[in-house]
């Protein structure tokens, strides 16, 4: 008896029909073959379903019929076949056209089919309709965009209404005081008291604008080199008094110099803001651990946080870890925004962390946070390490008396006439000789006419045309004996390195501060 061959048993035929059965059964994919010229040579029901053509309508026609007119004119079908011929495969997503003219979004794969010698026999094409998936993705993206936009508007609304609210209160106080001061019957005591109210209100308003400028990274900074460890050590008593006895503060310092070059007053404010937040997060007491250590560049971070440290240079990291209430993710996402607060009215303005954020960024650093509801929060403030050996210039000691020792010839340059006029009156009242210009060119002209007969020039940094910084440099070159003091409402250009060559008075400065500067000859 002869052994049966596969042909006898019909196995070969069964393989081919099994393959056909498979292709025919697939309804979610268009699976068909193209001849080497790109004409359709086989068709499955999936293809019929997507593209609308019955096999007798489409076999023999060029596959470019499925493409949009723009794609056809741009030669997209030919390029697809060319890629598949050259590289063996072409893969893309794009619009295709149904027999009815309707467009649908497809994922397409074209494989070159070759014989044993490598000659291209045709192409196998598999297409999938992913219009629904694309629509769903687009809808998710649109929802995300709308949410992001709404959140931005909400933050902006919070910011403007916060500023408006606080400023209206300041303005109301100043107005009431000014109206009272006009009354002739007012006693001297009362007059002095009202003047103090105005000054105190201006200080509060100045504090608010300083925090806003800190957030927008435009505050005038006075960076100097110092050891972070010494700075924190110096604040131990303030921290202890701030948190009270129910909260235990633990300090952990790396045993090495931890130098940064930054504005130490701003760092102190930032630390205090975070310590106050930690206190508020632990109303029933708890633990606060303050750590300072060196941090390698590129995210080698000890604490888990929302994101790694992305700074490129070595930093000094100051970490405040509390055992407080922690934060929900939606709160965490907004904490650095100005005026975002979860505290009751009168308890928080929502500016503390915006100052921390702005200060860290303006100092070339970063702030990160990790938090878990019920377990606590960890804030990490990283500031680039100062690796230079030299110490900065020693701070100038403030003079104690409050009156200028001698009369000075002062030139005021400010494009705000009101500020200039009031300041001029004040300085004249103190016995100085004052001339006032509203722009830098006029000031230079007048100085030239007077052949530099002036002791001090006080110039606003931001002015149209020639600005205060440029004026300061020209005055110093031409008349080095004249002392130049710059004043500014925001750092702007004054934050640049050359600003530190001139003393800077941040508005609204006190008379005391100006007099101190005038005394520093």
Ligand X SMILES: Nc1ncnc2c1ncn2[C@@H]1O[C@H](COP(=O)(O)OP(=O)(O)OP(=O)(O)O)[C@@H](O)[C@H]1O
Minimum CB distance to ligand X, residue 180 (Å): 30
Our CB check for ligand X shows the closer of 377 and 488 to be 377
Residue 390, φ and ψ in degrees, nearest 5? -75, 145
Orientation angle between helical segments 352-362 and 188-215, nearest 10 degrees: 60
Our CB check for Mg ion shows the closer of 277 and 487 to be 277
360 belongs to the binding site for ligand X (CB under 6 A): no
Say how many residues touch ligand X, by CB under 6 A. Answer: 22
| Secondary structure (3-state) at 443 | helix
Our CB check for ligand X shows the closer of 174 and 331 to be 331
Minimum CB distance to Mg ion, residue 363 (Å): 19
281 binds, among ligand X, Mg ion, none (CB under 5 to 8 A by kind): ligand X
Q: E-strand spans in 254-346?
A: 259-262, 286-295, 315-322
Pick one of 209, 277, 323, 380: the residue that binds Mg ion (CB under 5 A). Answer: 277
Site string for ligand X, 13-42 (x = CB under 6 A): ------------------------------
Token reading at 516: 């101190």
In Å, how far from its chain's centre is CA 86?
47
| Secondary structure (3-state) at 276 | helix
Question: According to CB under 6 A, which residues from 64 to 123 bind ligand X?
Answer: none
Our CB check for Mg ion shows the closer of 220 and 352 to be 352
Pick one of 227, 295, 301, 322: the residue that binds ligand X (CB under 6 A). Answer: 322
What stretches of 26-75 show up as alpha helix (H) in DSSP?
45-51, 55-58, 69-73
297 close to 313: Cβ distance less than 8 angstroms? yes
Nearest-CB residue to ligand X?
352
Which residues is 320 bridged to in the sheet?
290, 379
What stretches of 182-288 show up as alpha helix (H) in DSSP?
188-215, 228-233, 236-243, 264-281
| CA pair distance 318, 359, nearest whole angstrom | 14
Sheet architecture: strand order including 456-460: 433-437, 409-413, 456-460, 483-488, 504-506
Minimum CB distance to ligand X, residue 204 (Å): 13
Minimum CB distance to Mg ion, residue 326 (Å): 15
Our CB check for ligand X shows the closer of 37 and 157 to be 157
Pairing of strands 120-129, 456-460: unpaired
Question: According to CB under 5 A, which residues from 329 to 358 bind Mg ion?
Answer: 352
Question: According to CB under 6 A, which residues from 367 to 386 bind ligand X?
Answer: 377
**Which of the stretches 187-195, 338-346, 392-400, 418-426 binds ligand X when contact is defined by CB under 6 A?**
338-346
| CA pair distance 417, 468, nearest whole angstrom | 15
Pick one of 31, 84, 325, 383: the residue that binds ligand X (CB under 6 A). Answer: 325
Of 468, 456, 411, nearest in space to 436 by CA: 411
488 belongs to the binding site for ligand X (CB under 6 A): no
Q: Contact positions toward ligand X, by CB under 6 A?
A: 273, 277-278, 281, 322, 324-325, 327, 331, 335, 340-343, 348-354, 377
């Amino acid at each position: 008896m002869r052994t049966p061959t596969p042909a006898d048993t019909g196995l070969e035929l069964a393989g081919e029909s099994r393959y056909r059965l498979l292709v025919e059964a697939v309804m979610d994919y268009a699976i068909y073959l193209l001849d080497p010229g790109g004409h359709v040579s086989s068709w499955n029901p999936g293809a019929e379903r997507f593209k609308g053509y019955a096999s007798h309508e489409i076999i023999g026609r060029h596959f470019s019929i499925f493409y949009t007119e723009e794609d056809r004119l741009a030669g997209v079908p030919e390029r697809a076949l060319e890629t598949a011929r050259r590289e063996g495969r072409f893969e893309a997503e794009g619009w295709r056209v149904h027999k009815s003219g309707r467009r649908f979004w497809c994922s397409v794969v074209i494989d070159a089919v070759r014989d044993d010698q490598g000659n291209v026999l045709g192409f196998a094409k598999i297409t999938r309709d992913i219009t629904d998936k694309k629509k769903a993705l687009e809808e998710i993206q649109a929802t995300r965009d709308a949410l992001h936009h709404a959140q931005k508007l909400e933050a902006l609304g919070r910011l403007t209404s916060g500023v408006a609210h606080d400023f209206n209160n300041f303005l109301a106080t100043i107005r009431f005081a000014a109206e009272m001061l006009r009354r002739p019957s007012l006693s001297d005591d009362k007059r002095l008291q009202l003047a103090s109210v105005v000054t105190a209100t201006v200080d509060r308003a100045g504090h608010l604008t300083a925090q806003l400028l800190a957030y927008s990274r435009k505050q005038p900074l006075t960076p100097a080199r110092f050891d972070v460890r010494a700075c924190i050590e110096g604040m131990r008593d303030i921290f202890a008094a701030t948190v009270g006895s129910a909260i235990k503060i633990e300090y952990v310092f790396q045993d090495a110099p931890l130098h940064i070059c930054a504005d130490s007053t701003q760092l102190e404010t930032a630390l205090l803001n975070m310590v106050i937040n930690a206190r508020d997060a632990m109303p029933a007491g708890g633990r606060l651990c303050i750590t300072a250590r060196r941090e390698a560049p590129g995210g080698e971070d000890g604490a888990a946080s929302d994101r790694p440290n992305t700074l490129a240079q070595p930093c000094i990291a100051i970490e405040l870890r509390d055992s407080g209430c922690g934060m929900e993710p939606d709160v965490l996402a907004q904490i650095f925004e100005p005026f975002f607060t979860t505290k009751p009215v009168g308890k928080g303005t929502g500016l503390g962390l915006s100052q921390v954020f702005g200060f860290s960024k303006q100092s070339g650093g970063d702030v990160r946070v990790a938090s878990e509801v019920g377990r606590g929060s960890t804030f990490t403030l990283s500031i680039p390490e100062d690796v230079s050996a030299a110490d900065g210039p020693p701070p100038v000691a403030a003079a104690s008396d409050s009156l200028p020792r001698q009369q000075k010839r002062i030139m005021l340059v400010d494009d705000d006439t009101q500020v200039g006029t009031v300041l001029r009156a004040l300085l004249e009242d103190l016995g100085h000789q004052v001339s006032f210009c509203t722009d830098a060119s006029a000031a230079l002209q007048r100085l030239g006419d007077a052949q530099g007969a002036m002791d001090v020039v006080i110039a606003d940094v931001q002015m149209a045309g020639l600005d205060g910084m440029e004026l300061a440099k020209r005055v110093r070159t031409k008349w080095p004996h004249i002392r130049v003091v710059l004043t500014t409402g925001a750092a702007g250009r004054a934050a640049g390195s050359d600003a530190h060559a001139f003393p800077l008075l941040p508005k609204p400065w006190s008379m005391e501060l100006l007099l101190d500067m005038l005394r520093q000859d």
